[in-house]
Chains A and B, each alone.
Chain A
Amino acid sequence: MTARFLVRRLGGLAVTLLLASMLIFSSLYLAPGSPENIVFGNRTPSPAARAAVRHQLHLDDPLPVRYWDWLTGALHGDFGRSMVTNQQVSDRVGAGLATTVTLVVLAALMIALLGLALGTAAALKPGIVDSAVNVYTSVSVTVPPFVASAVLISTFAVKLGWFPASGIEDGFWGRIDGLILPAAAMALISCGFLARVTRNAMREQLAKDHVQTAMVRGLPRRHVIRRHVLRNALPPIVTVIGLQVAGLFASTLVVESAFGVPGIGRLTIQSVAQKDFPVVQAVALLLVTAFVVANAVTDLVQGLVDPRLKTAGGAV
């Protein structure tokens, strides 16, 4: 089942990537404007200069030819050169990728820890704790990331001075230090949703007959919660974490800009504005891959935590 699962997943990934790349490539091509205008800045180039640059960038080739060139290059691991800066695309994307991935990992950890903790607390302690968590989750899901960023910056960076307000520093710890606030800006919102789902899933399990029976029979409460409540509540929780993490890559665009984090967020925004085809392609495919991979991992984990899915055979 695992091999079949992997093959189907990989096949799905390949088809998704191919369709996404075609869609992005042609939509950029059809939008008005042309990348060489960016390079010329704002002076009218001579027709000869314009023709020379268009030729250098292969902009004079028809769309299918350019797409095919790009595709064959990409299949050989060559994503081409940025049309604006003439850098290797892999260099341009690679420069910020590690930072963005670190940011996503940090945010994912925060979401999982905070969301689970809040949700569990709310499920197990009805009354004031539950209400407090409820208020928090209701408010947090309505706060957009850029507002969270502004609040966090003014409190923890400007007033308290615990973290840098803008940019990241050298070295691993410098990077982590600078990424805690941006990660928190993303996590504070997403964890509210996870807390809600965790609370409801656990409540549902707590009300189940076998849980009630176990409690009444005097089994240790901690044991019952771990073995019977949490374990059975996990599938929806895992699904939500998976979706949240997959979506994190997209929210980095906003948060990186607010915190001046040198990840791939700015690269993405700029390249779209500049119609820098090869870079947009690479970044977009990266985001699609991240999304698909996150979903696949979620399904795999689902299979692990829920034995029923295994016995159901190819149901995944």
Chain B
Amino acid sequence: MNRIPARLAAPLAATAAVSLALSGCSGKSSGAKHAPAPSANIDANQLTTGTATGPLDSVTWSGDYRAPYSLDPLKTADYPEETILGNVCEPLLRTNPDYSLAPGLAKAWSQSDPTHIVFDLNPAAHFSDGKPVTPEDVVFSLKRNTDPNVASNYADSYNPVADIAATGASQVTITLSRPNYLFVRNMGILAGAIVEKANTVAAGSDFGSATGKLVCSGPFTVDSFDGTNTLVLKKDPNYWDTKHAAKVGKLTFSFPQDPQSFVNGLTQGTMQGAFDVPVSALSALQKATDGKLYVGGEGSTTQNVDLIVSKLDGGLKDPAVRQALSLAIDRAGIAKSIYAGAADPLYAVAGPGFFTSQPDQVKAVYQAAYDKLKVTPDLKKAADMVDQAGAKGKTVKIAYAADGGPFAQLAQVLQQTGNAIGLDLKIVGLPMQQYGSLFTDPKARADYDGFLTLNYMEFPDVSTMYTSYATKDGVQNFNGYDNATVQALVDKAAGTDDLAKRADFATQAQAQVMQDLPWIPIVAPRALVWQGKQVTGAPLTFSYMSYAWGAAVGAP
């Protein structure tokens, strides 16, 4: 869910950005020295760029900041894999561009009681080699998530699962160990991807490697992959669901590393589309005429940039100090200058991106709770809080990925903010590999009080976000935060299928977590999608991270 932001370096004027953010800190409004911030041009209810009317021979899309490590849908949960692999290995259910679930390999599903989910498979569904998708394949695929030898990146999502079994000739039942109405969402993302058992077993450790054979069900199959530069998908002409068949004969993904090369690829037409456009490319793409840069509004993705507190016994031990730091951060200034306006200040880790897709009444509950958390940066009050906590002059060491992107600038702003309120805030830029090990290795993060991250969730749900980092077993709980009230509330939220009740529980949990601040939210990047004139049909929501979006892309 977190990503290692070792991506296109942002050649923004670092000093300008920092000084702007600082002038914001001291209460003055940020100057307008920058290019005008991109204004949102996607309607709240516009879910795709349009409807494709005809086929196309070939389309090239940006596969994000690097090539996939593996084609095994379970191996790594990050932007490139999740953007691409849903087109080849469909999950059990489909996720629509509005994040709702829809029938797919399972033609129907029901959760008649809080601990059992029954899936009826579509008898027409077959794999790319023509063999039918059987309950045995489904049980095998889902159970791979719990096998340590597979080391699924989604293993934690299966914590609530007690059993997965075939319960009929075309039926699979998942039994949960406690009431949970949110688990089923995982069947609409790669955590629920279905692979053919026979092929997967035969491939052994070669499964998912660039040269290994992949047999799944999806509108595309893998044509070629060199492991580094290009991944070519081709339309599966025998795909069982003609309504969702691909319109594009060949869908190629390339992975430009250099910001200029990325922009040139898009504006010269060697690439026709890109999700997750880096901030450094914005001004060039806004000027370009051979396509359109779609800019989402506030809450258009679940992406969130946070300071993860990595230990609760160091310089950030006292919650009052964390609150002071959070109060002092000039979120609006950061969003405006470092993110060029393509982000919004974020006052709760699960901000608007996690609830804008809810029905209006439910959304209002979340919005009201969120609005209560909004603060105006107040350096003086924050300095007093640090003083009262007896933390004046205490050392706080924060790590960030030094390989590019906005994190270096963000770290500088945090440093200035921390020092302004009396902390001795030190920042350490780490190379990608070392930064990455902060997430996976407790020893690596023991040296730091916190580190910066860009985080996201595949499906928007407030309580799931807090479960992932603010509960004992949360896979993103890096600091050992444990609060019985929060645990009970998120369990209740997952255990009810009443959306309003869930919102009540989730917002109560949120209030507690945002007071304790095991993570400090900073900004929420907006959806940024580029699409060339020759194509249409791409999704504008973050749903591209989970489904076979490529099937809908075609000629305008």
> Interface on A for B, CB 8 Å cutoff?
31-34, 37-46, 48-53, 56, 81-82, 84-88, 91-92, 95-96, 150, 153, 157-158, 164-167, 257-260, 262, 266-267, 269-270, 273-275
Contacts and interface: CB of A to CB of B under 8 A. Distances in A.
Interface of B: 1-4, 6, 66-67, 69-70, 75-78, 148-149, 151-153, 155-156, 205-206, 208-212, 226-230, 254, 256-258, 260-262, 264-265, 267-268, 270-271, 403, 431-434, 436-437, 439-442, 444, 453, 475-476, 478
B436 A95 contact: no
A261 to B, nearest CB: 9
Given A40-B440, A42-B3, A260 B265 contact: yes
25 contacts: A32-B437, A37-B440, A39-B75, A39-B151, A41-B153, A42-B78, A42-B439, A43-B156, A45-B440, A50-B440, A85-B67, A86-B70, A86-B210, A91-B211, A96-B229, A153-B264, A157-B264, A164-B270, A165-B265, A165-B270, A258-B260, A260-B254, A266-B229, A267-B228, A269-B257
B82 to A, nearest CB: 10
B256 A260 contact: yes
B149 A52 contact: yes
Contacts of B4: 41-42
Task: Identify whether the interface residues of B are mostly helix, strand, loop, or mixed.
Answer: loop
Given A86-B209, A87-B211, A166-B270, A40 B229 contact: no
B261 A260 contact: yes
A254 B229 CA distance: 15
Contact of B436 (A37, A45, A164, A262): A37
A27 to B, nearest CB: 13
Contacts of B205: 56, 86
Given A52-B148, A87-B210, A38 B260 contact: no
B227 A95 contact: yes
B433 A33 contact: yes
B431 to A, nearest CB: 7
B491 to A, nearest CB: 21
A85 B70 contact: yes
B228 A44 contact: no
Contacts of B260: 150, 153, 258
A207 to B, nearest CB: 47
Which residue among A43, A153, A259 has the maximum number of chain B CB atoms within 10 Å of its CB?
A43
A100 B367 CA distance: 54
A79 to B, nearest CB: 14
Contact of A37 (B267, B433, B453): B433
Contacts of A262: 226, 228-230, 254
A88 B210 CA distance: 9
Given A33-B436, A46-B155, A164-B268, 14 more contacts: A32-B434, A39-B69, A42-B453, A44-B478, A85-B70, A91-B211, A91-B227, A153-B264, A157-B264, A257-B261, A262-B230, A266-B257, A273-B6, A275-B433
A236 to B, nearest CB: 36
A149 to B, nearest CB: 8
A258 B260 CA distance: 7
Nearest to B256: A260
A287 B107 CA distance: 54
B437 A257 contact: no
A85 B76 CA distance: 11
Contacts of B70: 39, 85-86
A54 to B, nearest CB: 10
A96 B228 contact: yes
Contact of B153 (A40, A86, A166): A40
A66 to B, nearest CB: 18
Given A38-B69, A43-B476, A85-B70, A166 B265 contact: yes
A257 B270 CA distance: 16
B228 A157 contact: no
A273 B432 contact: yes
Given A166-B268, A273-B6, A41 B433 contact: no
Contacts of B152: 49
A85 to B, nearest CB: 5
B466 to A, nearest CB: 16
A52 B436 contact: no
A184 B441 CA distance: 45
Contacts of B261: 165-166, 257-260
